[in-house]
Amino acid sequence: MLWSGLGLAGSIAAFVFGVTAIVVIIAGPFIGNDGSDVRRTIRNAAGIPPEYLPMIIEAANNAGCAEVSPAVLAAQLHQESGFNPSARSAVGAMGIAQFMPGTWAVHGQGDVWNPADAIPAAARYDCAVAAATASVSADPREKMLAAYNAGPGAVLAYAGVPPYPETRNYVRTILAQAQVYGDVIDAMVAGTVSAAAVAPVLAFMESQIGKPYVWGATGPDAWDCSSLVQAAYQRIGVSLPRVTVDQMRAGPLVSAVDPQPGDLLFIPGADGTPAAPGHVGMYVGNGRVIAAKGARWGVVESALSDWTSIVAVTRPLAAT
């Protein structure tokens, strides 16, 4: 758990986070187990020290938010310390959940070196950063884990998982390990789509590279960003809404960390916001995105790494 401020934006986010965290701490005992009577557990506990398993299950169920499941919490502790309660990082992170001293002073209770204290604290802190980043329209668990690793300010500043290789790997690794432990990652995560099914969509996008961008255009000689992806999916009989915000809401939403070819990537753009993005492109594989970028560029191919402010990813074929 390594993070620092991000200038004015970070200071503002830190203030908001601090207020939210206080509310979560005060309300925690009344929140219960995410508002559900379903007690979540771990289906495959292989590799989890048996002495910590009951603590993890109890802590996740009592944390107070849906984002923290026992499998996600266990995967996080595995990633943070390898379940080592004596772990200490080079920068001073402590214990099984690798709390920095300042964070533990605010959010911890008891002894940071005692897993019975540190594991519930990690689950509560996960919920606190999840609440602090609730305004960001992105996968809830990805936001939470990114905020635990890089700080809520970074998630707020980038309107999603920040483009730090360490943080993206942290999120990806934990969610993958959670699946090993038997977790159903999230109802928002849709299934995979076959390469054959999406191939005509990708071929159409490739064929449009170089055509001009004209706001409001619907082809075939010029496009805007949303009409281009709408036309691409029309090639296989999938009907998308016309405008970007409606396309995002049509979903289904999926993970933003590892997109599949055919996924639609949404960013605020010049005239949008994280909640109502103004620009959309399509991931076509091999780290590439095709989009009707703007009047200066037309339809272009760019690197996925250039799309640093993704607020949502949808997989239209997963809904069919």
| pLDDT confidence tier of residue 191, bands split at 50, 70 and 90 | low
**What is the average pLDDT value for the chain, to the nearest integer?**
84
pLDDT at 36: 40
Concerning whether 80 is annotated as a catalytic residue, the answer is: yes
pLDDT at 2: 57
| pLDDT average, residue stretch 120-127 | 96
Question: Could you tell me the two tokens for 100?
Answer: 């920095």
Which 3 state secondary structure label does DSSP give 158? helix
| pLDDT confidence tier of residue 188, bands split at 50, 70 and 90 | very low
Greater model confidence, 253 or 79: 79
Greater model confidence, 319 or 209: 209
Which of 27-36, 111-120, 278-287 is predicted with the least confidence, judged by mean pLDDT?
Answer: 27-36
| pLDDT average, residue stretch 191-214 | 92
Contacts of the segment 35-42: beta carbons below 8 A, 24+ positions apart: 35/66, 36/66, 40/69, 40/70, 41/70, 42/70, 42/71, 42/74, 42/181, 42/182, 42/183
Residues 6+ apart with CB under 8 A from 260: 192, 193, 198, 254, 283, 315
pLDDT at 309: 79
pLDDT at 186: 39
| pLDDT confidence tier of residue 145, bands split at 50, 70 and 90 | very high
pLDDT tens for each residue of 261-272? 999 999 888 888
DSSP code at position 305: G
Question: Could you tell me the two tokens for 78?
Answer: 């595995």
Q: How many whole angstroms separate alpha carbon 38 and alpha carbon 101?
A: 34
**pTM here?**
0.56
| Position 201, amino acid | V
pLDDT(126) > 90: yes
pLDDT at 203: 96
Out of 51, 58, 67, 80, the active site residue is: 80
Question: Could you tell me the two tokens for 50?
Answer: 């048996």
Furthest CA-CA distance within the chain:
66
pLDDT(184) > 50: no
pLDDT at 218: 95
